[in-house]
Amino acid sequence: MDFEKYNDIAPYRGADIEAAKERLIAKREYLGGFAYLLAGNDIEVATKVISYIINGIKEVKTYTDFQRNVTAGVFIPTILQKTTTGFSVSGAENIDPNKGYLFVSNHRDIILDCMLLDYALLLSNKPFCEMAVGDNLMANKFIEDIFRINGGIIVRRELPMREKYKESMKLSEYFVDVVSQENTSIWVAQKSGRSKDGIDNTQPAIIKMLYLSKKGSGVSFSELIKSVNIVPIAISYQYDPNDINKGREETVKAQNDGKYEKKKYEDIISMVRGLRCPKGHIHVAIGKPLDGEYENADEVAREIDRQIHTNYKLFNTNYIAYDYLENTDRFKDFYDGLNPEDFLAAYNHLSDDVRSFVLNSYANPVRMMLKETEGEE
């Protein structure tokens, strides 16, 4: 595979990794910021984390080394220990370690989702994956280095329409080539941007672009889908650290004809909240590879959605929100010791619109599951 033509968007390899290592180690104060971001005010822990990160970077030869030594070795375990009550994985048996997969995932947290899948793969003794990340997060060279030495693929979004189409074709071709030729897996979100309302639906355009990038080679749509081994991923958080922020943003959009102007560093602030704030239990559900005969992108997107909706692990927060909004006690046996009044009281200070949006974001995964399993709307 010719990686040169993807050099501006692909994860770092070879000499680019060595150069990035030097730049990262030279920015010790930035790495210290990451350490304190994880450790909070615990200076002893932060000092150890800085040491682990720097020593881990020194040993890096490939981006999978960085994932093993730093991301899955230090970063994610520290976050899980400090901000969660548990982490679980299902469906790892669906993954053949000798194959590459295109992991199409629901998307709730700006950066954690893809890293949590990598951690799930590590725990399951499966190969790591590359991950597609929007360039809106690349605030500076240091952050770009962190992402690309960690297997990050840059998705360029802020481009004129014609250039954006060409860039999408290039990105899609990279996905197909890496999975089918290199047997390397890639994580990509099922749609552009996070799901803020708790409704996880795949954009068929992502699937269409995969086919268009290779249509000239004479491959059929069904053959193309089989070659990339699509696996749906459902990641669920018991508590969403950004639930209120998402609710306020979407409420403003609803009041302004879908318009919302993000403040400077708003994505970074959301990223920090996602890392540092409590999340309760987290579950990663790995679906089954799509191996049927698919005629078009809509059919593929539908199967991805079906697996995400049925594999999504529902928590007591989801069941309580659903029962409250639907005025029922259907799922009271699944509250698992969480007092509904305590959960609901956490949102009593919000305006009616924002509170309704937030509670519906917790209830919607239940509705999606019921629609798939019982045909309920």
CA distance 86 to 219: 44
If one compares 253 and 326, the residue with the highest pLDDT of the two is 326
Q: What is the pLDDT of residue 40?
A: 67
In DSSP notation, 178-225 reads HHHHH--EEEEESSSS--SSS-----HHHHHHHHHTTGGGT--HHHHH
Please determine, for residue 302, whether its predicted confidence score (pLDDT) is greater than 90: yes
Q: List, as own/partner pairs, every contact residues 337-345 make where C-beta atoms lie below 8 angstroms and the sequence separation is at least 24, other chains included.
A: 343/316, 343/317, 344/320
Mean pLDDT, residues 351-366:
97
- Whether 265 has a pLDDT exceeding 80, the answer reads no
Cα–Cα dist 290/367, whole Å: 24
Global confidence as pTM = 0.94
The predicted pLDDT at position 35 comes to 73
pLDDT greater at residue 309 or residue 163: 309
Summarised one tens digit per residue, pLDDT across range 226-248 is: 999 999 999 999 999 999 999 99
Locate the domains of the chain by residue range.
Answer: 4-10+86-309, 318-374
pLDDT of residue 291 exceeding 80: yes
Q: Which pLDDT score, from 0 to 100, does residue 267 have?
A: 77
Which pLDDT score, from 0 to 100, does residue 279 have?
97
User: Which pLDDT does position 276 carry in this prediction?
Assistant: 87
Give the mean pLDDT of 121-143: 92
Distance between CA atoms of residues 21 and 278, nearest Å? 31
pLDDT more than 90, % of the chain: 74
What pLDDT does 376 receive? Answer: 66
Beta carbons within 10 angstroms of residue 327's beta carbon: 6
Burial of residue 356 (number of CB atoms within 10 Å: 0-12, 13-18, 19+): middle
3-state SS string for 121-179: HHHCCCCCEEEEEEHHHCCCHHHHHHHHCCCEEEECCCCCHHHHHHHHHHHHHHHHHHH
| DSSP count for the chain of H helices, then E strands | 16, 7
What average pLDDT does the chain have? 92
Quick one: pLDDT at residue 158? 79
91 φ, ψ (degrees, to nearest 5)? 85, 5
In tens, the pLDDT along 178-223 reads 999 999 999 999 998 889 999 999 999 999 999 999 999 999 999 9
- DSSP state letter for 56: H
Tell whether the model's pLDDT for residue 280 goes beyond 90.
Answer: yes
Return the CATH class of domain 4-10+86-309: alpha beta
Say how many C-beta atoms besides its own lie within 10 A of residue 377's C-beta: 5
Whether residue 166 has pLDDT greater than 90 = yes
Separation of alpha carbons 372 and 377, rounded Å:
9
**pLDDT tier, 139 (very low <50, low <70, confident <90, very high otherwise):** confident
Sheet bearing 152-155, strands edge to edge: 84-90, 280-286, 230-237, 102-105, 185-189, 129-134, 152-155
Per-residue model confidence (pLDDT) at position 260:
74
pLDDT at 167 over 90: yes
For 32-88, how does the pLDDT look when each residue is reduced to its tens digit (9 = 90+)? Answer: 777 777 666 677 777 877 888 888 899 999 999 999 999 988 889 989 998 999 999
